[in-house]
Amino acid sequence: MQRSTPMWSLFLLLFFFCGCSGNVEPTPQLDSRYDEWTVDQFQQAMGDGEISSVQLVEYYLERIETIDAAGPKLNSIIEINPDALTIAQGLDEERTAGNSRGPLHGIPVVLKANVNTGDAMATSAGSLALAEHHASNDAFIAAKLREAGAVLLGKTNLSEWANFRSTRSSSGWSSIGGQTKNAYDPLRNPCGSSSGSGVAIAANLAVLAIGTETDGSIVCPASINGIVGVKPTLGLVSRDGIIPIAHSQDTAGPMARSVRDAALMLNAISAIDTTDLAAADRPETTPDYAANLSKDALQGARIGVIRSYGGAGDNPDVDANFEAAIEAMRAAGAEIIDEIEIDTRGMGGAEYEVLLYEFKADLNSYLQANDAALSSIAEIIAFNDEHAAEVMPIFGQEIMLLAESKGDLTDAGYLAALETSKRIARDGIDVTIAEHQLDALVAPTNGPAWMTDHVNGDNFSVGSSSLAAVSGYASVTVPSGYTSGLPLGISFIGGAFSEERLLQLAYSFEQATTARRAAEFKTE
């Protein structure tokens, strides 16, 4: 089989970027005709014969070359699918013959590089240890995207091993892809671990992207790059063929520039996978998430305001933006129930213990089931040590070492931590929603992007992802404004399988505020 040419060979030196900048000028020869276009707009144009899927793929390939590989060198795409144009040509022929597979027909999408594709692209999790790992089959969600007519354009960079390698990591850095940069300021961090997916959509390098989340890895890069991110309920989206951290929290989800686009993508990937044990808990029927989106959805909705999120009160700009978002919801007709306090004491430590145990067990299972060259986390650790200069030039593998030291999933310590973390998170959401008869909870998704720092690592300030992540429940982040030109987002958080209602509320908020602004690109 023909193999693609990994883009990491072009990007390997980028993580040494020093941030030295002189005069800045607009990126030259940047084609922006289709910037910020939605799925519906592209479908209308393709249906009218104004553009083909082949032309759309060519358009994004040119932007990737101009913005990602050159210009501001955002470094969000780790690999291009060499078959993308051929796939697009086939879909164009289907359309010409009068056959359309639906809203995603001919639409270019990118996938995080921990999602299996049974094609020429590697599935590496950003690690040199898996640089030549080619899956024999598509992940369930990749297959569903193909069936829906999407063009798998490429793989996106990520925080290596989904940011579960080191306590001193820099989000968006991997030993294959180097450092991904924030779409709004290349000196700043894109957050992770779905860094490349967030930046690629913010920069209009594709229409849609797949991210994955264990705790914050969809919603943080979505918020910090000014786009929409959906963290589905555990079991709604298949985990098949995705390099894992922890089966009790991992999920894939859509990343898009609009709520409706994210809903359309969720429709495509939320088919029931009977082989995924978590799917046993999902409802028998799956709604059309894009069907009932209305700008009036906030009218009469009861919205609970979480004031006890991480870093609450630490950033006055985040506070001011959050208050403005609350007032926008009130002006749209929502009933605001304020001063919601959720006690999460003991949840974080228990969650971390669960992730360490499950990372070892789940990664070992993935490597062995997918015939990877390395078959265990112990072998990954040894590879990293042997190739330390390339794999660990700026941070180590402390988390991997901790995970390897854990026992199996029958250990009493693991079982107690799992029970504790789930109980605290689920009670925190379920009891609060029931007590106040809420449609959703809201909180700031994150603070603004921090300066990328390869000496000290990440500098998180504000965050609210853990309740939804640990509980396994749904959350949707949507742009809510900017501070010093950097995006901020607000999260709508609900109970199990509440995606339909959350997307309705997020859409109503999006339409009321029209907060998103496209990133402007400059050369350094």
Write out the E strands in 167-207.
Answer: 173-174, 178-179
491 is catalytic: no
d(CA 290, CA 267): 8
Picking from 67, 185, 69, 76, the residue whose alpha carbon sits closest to that of residue 126 is 76
Q: Is the dihedral of CA 42, 517, 153, 31 positive or negative?
A: positive
Report how far apart, in Å, the C-alpha atoms of 403 and of each of 328, 359, 385 are: 44, 7, 16
Selected catalytic residue, list 127, 193, 195, 421: 193
Our measurement of the distance from residue 249's CA atom to the centroid of its chain's CA atoms, rounded to an integer in Å, reads 14
Supply the Cα-derived Rg of the chain in whole angstroms: 21
- Phi and psi angles of residue 507, each rounded to the nearest 5 degrees, phi first: -65, -45
Candidates 174, 217, 258, 498; catalytic one = 217
Handedness of CA 46, 50, 55, 60 (dihedral sign): negative
12-18: which pairs have CB atoms within 8 A and are 24 or more residues apart? 12/178, 13/178, 14/73, 14/75, 14/178, 14/179, 15/173, 15/178, 15/179, 15/393, 15/394, 15/454, 17/73, 17/179, 17/181, 17/186
Is 5 exposed, middle or buried (CB count within 10 Å of its CB: 0-12, 13-18, 19+)? Answer: exposed
User: Is 217 considered catalytic here?
Assistant: yes
Neighbouring-strand partners of residue 336:
303
- Alpha-carbon distance values, 293 to 253, 288, 331, 508 (Å): 18, 10, 18, 8
Neighbours of 20 (CB within 10 A): 7
Query: Can 194 be counted among the known catalytic residues?
Result: no
Angle between helix 84-96 and helix 53-63 axes, rounded to 10 deg: 150
Listed in order, strand segments (DSSP E) in 276-367 are 302-306, 335-340
For residues 253 and 218, is the Cβ–Cβ distance under 8 A?
A: yes
Which one, of 512, 492, 463, 191, lies nearest residue 324 by Cα? 512
Catalytic residue among 4, 53, 112, 465: 112
* Per-residue b or e along 36-53, where b marks 16 or more CB atoms closer than 10 Å to that residue's CB: ebebeebbebbeeeebbb
Q: What is the largest CA-CA distance in the chain?
A: 62
User: Looking at beta carbons, which pairs linking 308-312 to residues 24 or more positions away fall under 8 Å?
Assistant: 308/340, 308/341, 308/342, 308/343, 308/344, 309/443, 309/444, 309/462, 309/463, 309/464, 310/462, 310/463, 310/464, 310/466, 311/447, 311/460, 311/461, 311/462, 311/463, 312/462
Q: Which residues are the active-site residues?
A: 112, 193, 217
